[in-house]
Amino acid sequence: MATSDPFDDIPGTTLFDAKKSREGYHLNMFCMSLMSAENRAAFKADEEAYLDRFPMTPAQRKTVRERDWNGMLQLGGNIYYTSKLAACDGLTFQNIAAIMTGSTQEQYAEMMLKGGRPIAGNRSRSEWKRG
């Protein structure tokens, strides 16, 4: 499978590199602002007005409104920053990891306790072609 970046071939992986960092700067600064109790209260009171403080792209704003955790990462969000938004919503890191993998929190915890995802089929999308 030809890709523009070798990491594009790894299923379920969004590489946070310098390019993603620049792309997600305002999204990440929004998320970090939620470390302040005053800012969390302002955000919860009027999400749209609070989001107006940050020059995010329309797509980034949409992922925030929809709490699309994978979408935030694809648009430059850093998981450690976006977890501040999750915490504002009362979610743990394990909760959002479960959501991001399409499982329940209990299923996700069990998978991790058993060693994580199986290696077969998760190293490279090119493996999927071999059946």
Supply the CATH number for residue 42's domain: 1.10.700.10
104 lies in the same domain as 124: yes
Extract long-range pairs of 92-99: CB within 8 Å, 24+ residues apart.
96/69, 99/69
Q: What is the pLDDT of residues 78-105, one digit of tens each?
A: 999 999 999 999 999 899 989 988 888 8
Residue 3 lies in a domain: no
- Residues of the domain holding 114: 92-131
40 lies in the same domain as 64: yes
Residue 39 lies in a domain: yes
Higher-pLDDT residue of 82 and 108 is: 82
108 lies in the same domain as 124: yes
Q: What is the pLDDT of residues 25-80, one digit of tens each?
A: 999 999 999 999 999 999 999 999 999 999 999 999 999 999 999 999 999 999 99
Residue 19 lies in a domain: yes
- Structurally, how many domains does the chain consist of? 2
Residue 1 lies in a domain: no
Residue 4 lies in a domain: no
84 lies in the same domain as 97: no
86 lies in the same domain as 131: no
| pLDDT score, position 116 | 76
